[in-house]
Amino acid sequence: MEALIAQLVAGAVGGIAVGKAKSELSLGTVGDTVAGLLGGLAGGQILATLAGGDTSSLIMALIGGGGGGAVLTAAVSLIKSKMT
């Protein structure tokens, strides 16, 4: 349970960080946070699976969550910009 919460928090932080670092990739604070949460959950789970299934590792949850949140936020922003 702690790893899941860590993935969500790290994902939200990663999403917000991408939005603040590159304003053209920002979806707004709420959009960055939501995309980061979803990306953090997905990224954390994917990294845990690739690392051998240790889903309880807090370090892996933070790394995967932060990276996943940042990547998904940037991807959604780029897709949104191409659609408009």
Average pLDDT over residues 68-77: 94
What interhelical angle do 58-83 and 2-21 show, nearest 10?
Answer: 40
Say whether pLDDT at 17 is over 80. Answer: yes
Instruction: State which residues form the domain around 54.
Output: 2-83
> Containing H/E element for 55?
none
Decide if 45 contacts 7 (C-beta within 8 A).
yes
pLDDT score recorded for residue 53: 65
Mean pLDDT across the stretch 36-65? 85
- As for how many domains the chain has, the answer is 1
- Residue 42 reports pLDDT greater than 90: yes
Question: How many Cα atoms within 13 Å fall on the side-chain side of residue 42?
Answer: 14
Single out the residue of 29, 30, 34 nearest to residue 72, CA to CA: 34
Question: What pTM did the predictor assign?
Answer: 0.87
